[in-house]
């Protein structure tokens, strides 16, 4: 039986597009909103192949859509309910009119990506992830610090959290060492290796840390890891 999303989804998406509270939630929640909206309003599965690691924004969006597709296969009603629950947690009230008019709609159905602030239509787009990186909360995690590229802060974090799994994988199956190699930050790579980072672990595309660094054009790191 086909599923037609209720008008509540559009109302919630319009609210989320300009919700000030959006700036306070993690990128994980923002991407979940994106994936759910695409699943409900565009197609049951992502269209096209998965973007390469060089397009990390596109890759994250594709993965979020795929996660919604896999998680809610043949259960669109549950997906719609989850989307509305998140919107309500951000302040949306069913049947209410958005407090401010949404911006120009993007092809993803969200507010104009050119806008700034907490909008960007994270109900339906990931414009706030134009340059992927940790938000304030994520910057205090192992992977967030690896992306941020501050070796001193990373070392301080590891000293305070000695039990952290240095080879833990994030929601996209990357270790902190993978992320540091992709970003080309040698000091961060050195810190992670000194704390037990495993350079032989492979990323979702079957690259080791050294191979990932080479593909990303960071020859200095590649040479360092292959000494």
Q: What is the rounded distance in angstroms from the CA atom of residue 150 to the CA atom of residue 87?
A: 34
Q: Which of 78, 106, 129 is the last residue of a domain?
A: 129
Cα separations (Å) of 44 from 36, 63, 108, 131, 216?
10, 13, 15, 27, 32
Say if residue 205 is in the same domain as residue 110: no
Give CA–CA dist 224/154, Å, rounded. Answer: 20
Mean pLDDT score, 175-197: 93
**Tokens linked to 53:** 């690691």
Q: Which of 88, 107, 129 is the last residue of a domain?
A: 129
Count of structural domains, the chain: 2
Which domain does 168 fall in, by range?
A: 138-225
Do 149 and 54 lie in one domain? The reply is no
Report the pLDDT value the prediction gives residue 13, as an integer from 0 to 100.
Answer: 87
Residues 161 and 73 in one domain: no
Residue 2 lies in a domain: no
Query: What pLDDT is stored for residue 55 in this prediction?
Result: 75
- Taking only the tens place, the pLDDT of each residue in 26-66 is 788 888 999 999 998 888 898 788 887 767 778 888 889 99
Domain CATH code at residue 120: 1.20.80.10
- For residues 221 and 149, membership in a common domain is answered with yes
Q: Are residues 18 and 120 both part of a single domain?
A: yes
Q: Give the model confidence (pLDDT) of 105-164 as tens digits.
A: 333 433 332 333 333 334 333 333 333 444 434 457 898 888 888 899 999 999 988 899
| Secondary structure, 3-state, 149-180 | CCHHHHHHHHHHCCCCCCCCECCCCCEHHHHH
Same domain for 47 and 156, yes or no, is no
């Amino acid at each position: 039986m086909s599923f037609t999303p209720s008008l509540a989804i559009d109302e919630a998406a319009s609210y989320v597009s300009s919700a000030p509270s959006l700036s306070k939630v993690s990128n994980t929640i923002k991407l979940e909103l994106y994936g759910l909206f695409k699943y409900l309003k565009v197609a049951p599965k992502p269209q096209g192949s998965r973007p390469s690691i060089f397009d990390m924004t596109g890759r994250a969006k594709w993965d979020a859509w795929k996660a919604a597709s896999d998680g809610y296969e043949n259960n669109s009603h549950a997906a719609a309910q989850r989307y509305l629950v998140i919107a309500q947690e951000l302040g949306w009230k069913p049947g209410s009119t958005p407090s401010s008019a949404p911006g120009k709609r993007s092809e993803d159905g969200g507010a104009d990506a050119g806008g700034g602030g907490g909008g960007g239509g994270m109900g339906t787009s990931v414009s706030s992830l134009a340059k992927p990186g940790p938000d304030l909360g994520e910057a205090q995690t192992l992977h967030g610090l690896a992306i941020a590229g501050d070796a001193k802060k990373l070392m301080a974090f590891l000293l305070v959290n000695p039990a952290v799994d240095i080879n833990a994988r994030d929601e996209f199956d990357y270790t902190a060492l993978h992320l540091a190699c992709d970003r080309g930050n040698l000091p961060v790579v050195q810190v992670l290796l000194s704390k037990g980072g495993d350079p032989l672990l492979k990323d979702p595309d079957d690259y080791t840390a050294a191979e990932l660094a080479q593909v990303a054009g960071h020859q200095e790191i590649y040479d360092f890891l292959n000494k």
